[in-house]
Amino acid sequence: MVTVTSSELAQTVELSGTVRARTSALVAARIPGTVSLLQVREGDRVRKGQLLARLEAQEQLAQAGAANAGIEEAQRGLDEALAQRALADATLSRFQVLYDEQALTRQEFETRQTERALAHQRVARAEARLRQARENARAAGAMADYARITAPISGIITSKQVDLGVTVFPGQPLMTIDDETSYQLELVVPESYAALVRPGTPVQVSLDTLQKTVNATVAELVPAADPASRTFTAKVNLRVSGLKSGLFGRAILALDTTRATLLVPKQAIFERGALTAVWTVDQTDTIRMRLVKVGKAAGGQVEILAGLTGGERIVATHRTTLVDGAKLVP
């Protein structure tokens, strides 16, 4: 026989969540085109930089060709400007001799000086046009390279939104790649627990599909709450083999608070049909069956939410020989 007393019990909360990759890349088209090559499908593992698909984009190829032709035209313009500058320099040198011998008027000499200055300016403009043509060609080449769809990270293809021959547009998702080296459980936390859950909070995670239970801690809290559901997201890093995005997980968070509650030995509780009860002993040592509502288990004890009050006596171990109304014999 034991006396029911109030005890301090660490407060916990059970939450559910979804397993997701910590690093997930959504591969999207950057130029319009038609999928002419598709080398992967869902479940394939890829490495960073691997060719995934290719787009047929004739417009970008034509722009790249035109940009390269622009480089050649700008180079010819620069060569012509350099030749004119060389001629202007030589002409001014000859006129300088004539001017020094006073065989030439000052106006004619200044005209040649102006022509030489203009020739130098034409060279500068031609050089600038050549630089601009090269930059345009580089930009056009980069746009043409966007026709090659490569993997931004190493991982596994978890979804594919396009097929061979489909026309895509800029920004349209093509496929998703998850990094298999790190996963996390994203928990949906009611905002009523916002002040109690913080990074470092201990968590016991249960993954029903893998039939595994691991201990971890909260690694990150999303600072913004969802205004529709009034919840925010807590992320728990997982180091378990066999994880995949989308798996269901349950977590018990140990909050940094305690509350007063009644605890009784687990052996004192028994069930009668769908009812849960204990044997109580009143002041006249009469045994009575008492229906109770139980809560969480803590070690070898169980929390009593309703049905008992502090100071009452109960039989510590349930025995099938006990009957309601019997007298307790010391």
- The pLDDT, as a whole number, for residue 157 is 92
User: Which range scores top for mean pLDDT: 7-16, 27-36, 253-262?
Assistant: 27-36
Average pLDDT estimate for 7-29: 84
Mean pLDDT of 20-35: 89
**Farthest CA pair distance, the chain:** 146
Which pLDDT does position 209 carry in this prediction?
86
Residue 312 has pLDDT above 90, yes or no: no
Q: Which of 3-12, 104-113, 127-136, 199-208 has the weakest average pLDDT?
A: 3-12
| Mean local confidence (pLDDT), 302-328 | 75
* pLDDT at 160 (0 to 100): 92
DSSP state for residue 104 in the 8-state scheme: S
- Helix (H) or strand (E) holding 252, with range, is strand 248-265
Phi, psi of 125 (to 5 degrees): -65, -40
Query: 203 and 218 in contact (C-beta within 8 Å)?
Result: yes
Q: What is the mean pLDDT of the chain?
A: 83
pTM of the predicted protein model: 0.58
60 pLDDT exceeds 70?
A: no
pLDDT 10s digits, 101-146: 887 788 888 888 898 899 899 889 988 988 888 888 777 666 767 8
How many CB atoms sit inside 10 A of residue 110's CB?
Answer: 12
Say whether pLDDT at 176 is over 90: yes
**Whose CA is closest to 180, among 236, 234, 237, 245?**
245
Torsion over CA of 234, 240, 244 and 246, rounded to 10 degrees?
-30
Is the model's pLDDT at 189 over the cut of 70?
Answer: yes
Specify the 3-state DSSP secondary structure of 192: helix
